Structure formats: C-alpha cells, structure tokens
C-alpha cells in the first residue's frame, strides 16, 4: 500500500492506495503546533479504526505548502512508519515542463493537480482548486504548465466580511433562493456564491481568449461541487484529483527514490 499526504493551509488530506485503488481517504485539520508524535498517533488511530495494518504500507509521498509542517511530516513518516517519504518539490520528475519565470515558486499542490489532470485527459486544460485560496492552473495541449491565477478562497471571503464589517453575521455557505437577497444573510450568500460563480466564469473566458483555446476545466477541492453545479464553465469535478496526482508522481519517481 502507498500512503499519499497533501498538507494544505487548512486541512491535510491523506489517501491510501493499493494497486491504484483508493482504499481509504481522510481529512484532518492542519495544526502548525502539532508535533510529529501527535500526527503519528493520529494516523495510527485512523488506520486502527479502518482496520489497516501499518506494516503493509511500503511507500509514502508528501505534498506540502506549509514549510514548517514538512519537517514534522517527514519526521513522523520516519519515526512511526519506518519510511523515507518522497517529497514533491524541486528535483522531482513530473513529466510536466514548468514554464514560469521561477519554477520553484509554484506550489506543490498545484503541480500535483496539473500532473494528475493532464495525465488523465491529455489536452489543454485549466484546473481550479477551491481551497484556502482558489487557484487556476493552466496546462497546454503539449503538457506544459503555463502558469495560473491565485484568488482569495471562498472561506477567506466569508471570514473577511464577518470580521471587517461589524454588523454582518457569519453565514452558511449555501446557495440562496434568489440572486436578489431579501435579507442580510441571503444578500451575503448571493454575493459569495453567485459572485464566485461570476469570478470563475469571467476568468475562464479571459483565459480561453489569452490562450487561444477552449480548455477543459477541472474543479477540485472541498467546495468545488457547490460552485460546479451552478455554472456550465466547469466540465468535471474530481475531489480526489490531488491524491491521484500524488500516486502518479510516486510511481513516476519510485525507482530513483529507492536508489537514493
């Protein structure tokens, strides 16, 4: 079995694969103050609950966009699983040329998502990841990572409204009954949900014009289904895209990693 770990700013998502089949997946909070021992015990409890033997895990790969957490996760892997994990970063083979001014700047999760999407669809595409930030990643028909867009995430937008406008309440992230809100809550929900829908549609239209191609649009992240069902700009939703991409990269780099 192969354990894949995606450490994000808000959540850490884990997946356990056997012969390319996802057996289990978990989502836990990312806490900067947690130690490798705390994460090690958390994972052991998750595996125990799912009746998974940790000695059957023969490989691990980690994607991390929170620098202080990487050392913790690597230490946890070595101490509790006896594994030297593969880390997504400079030097790893992706099969995807990074056409940026500084390729080291691109987040590991964005590379993983782009690799996963292109390896499956093999055409020009845009991956939208609805996470702490909402990111748009563009891949050419030749499989080149062209760059992308970073926008504030949905939850960040909601929290900003709640914290910076004293009379506005914290609202549930759901589609309101109509665009024109008849009360404060519905007005806020309209601005967030329909406003974000318009952001997605507008940016996809601008990307298509600039790239001179109509790309396939893949959405991932926990909030992807909410937005995708409200717009025709998104072609597919794959909430497991990052986990699939991590497994793909593990297999692509397995031999080199074992030699190191």
pLDDT tens-digit readout, 75-103: 999 999 999 999 998 889 999 999 999 98
Q: Determine contact, residues 251/80, Cβ cutoff 8 Å.
A: no
Separation between Cα atoms, residue 88 and residue 203, nearest integer Å: 28
Q: Determine contact, residues 217/202, Cβ cutoff 8 Å.
A: no
Map residue 185 onto helix, strand or coil. Answer: helix
Separation between Cα atoms, residue 52 and residue 129, nearest integer Å: 30
Say which CATH topology domain 2-87 has. Nucleotidyltransferase; domain 5 (3.30.420)
**Residue 38 clears pLDDT 90, i.e. is over it:** yes
Residues taking part in catalysis: 109
**Model confidence band, residue 223 (pLDDT cutoffs 50, 70, 90):** confident
**Model confidence band, residue 143 (pLDDT cutoffs 50, 70, 90):** very high
Outline which parts of the chain fall under CATH 3.30.420.40.
2-87, 103-244
pLDDT (mean) for 220-226: 88
Q: How does strand 11-18 pair with strand 2-7?
A: antiparallel
Map residue 251 onto helix, strand or coil. Answer: helix
Say which CATH topology domain 103-244 has. Nucleotidyltransferase; domain 5 (3.30.420)
Query: Mean pLDDT in the chain?
Result: 92
């Amino acid at each position: 079995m192969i354990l894949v770990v995606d450490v994000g700013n808000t959540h850490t998502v884990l997946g356990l694969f056997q012969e390319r089949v996802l057996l289990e997946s978990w989502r836990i909070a990312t806490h900067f103050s947690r130690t490798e021992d705390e994460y090690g015990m958390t994972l052991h409890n998750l595996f125990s609950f799912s009746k998974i033997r940790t000695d059957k895990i023969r490989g691990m790969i980690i994607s991390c966009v929170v620098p202080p957490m990487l050392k913790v996760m690597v230490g946890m892997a070595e101490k509790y699983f006896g594994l030297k994990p593969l880390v997504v970063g400079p030097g790893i083979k992706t099969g995807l040329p990074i056409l940026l001014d500084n390729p080291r700047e691109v987040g590991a999760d964005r590379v993983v998502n782009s690799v996963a999407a292109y390896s499956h669809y093999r055409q020009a595409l845009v991956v939208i990841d609805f996470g702490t930030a909402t990111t748009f990643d563009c891949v050419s028909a030749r499989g080149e990572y062209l760059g992308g867009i970073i926008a504030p995430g949905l939850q960040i937008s909601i929290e900003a409204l709640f914290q910076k406008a004293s009379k506005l309440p914290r609202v549930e992230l759901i589609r309101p009954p109509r665009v024109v809100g008849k009360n404060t809550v519905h007005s806020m929900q309209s601005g967030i949900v329909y406003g974000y829908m318009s952001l997605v549609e507008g940016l996809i239209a601008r990307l298509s014009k600039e790239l001179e191609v109509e790309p396939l649009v893949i959405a991932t992240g926990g909030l992807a289904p909410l937005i995708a069902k409200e717009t025709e700009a998104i072609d597919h939703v794959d909430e497991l895209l990052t986990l699939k991409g991590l497994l793909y990269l593990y297999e692509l780099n397995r031999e080199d990693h074992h030699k190191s």
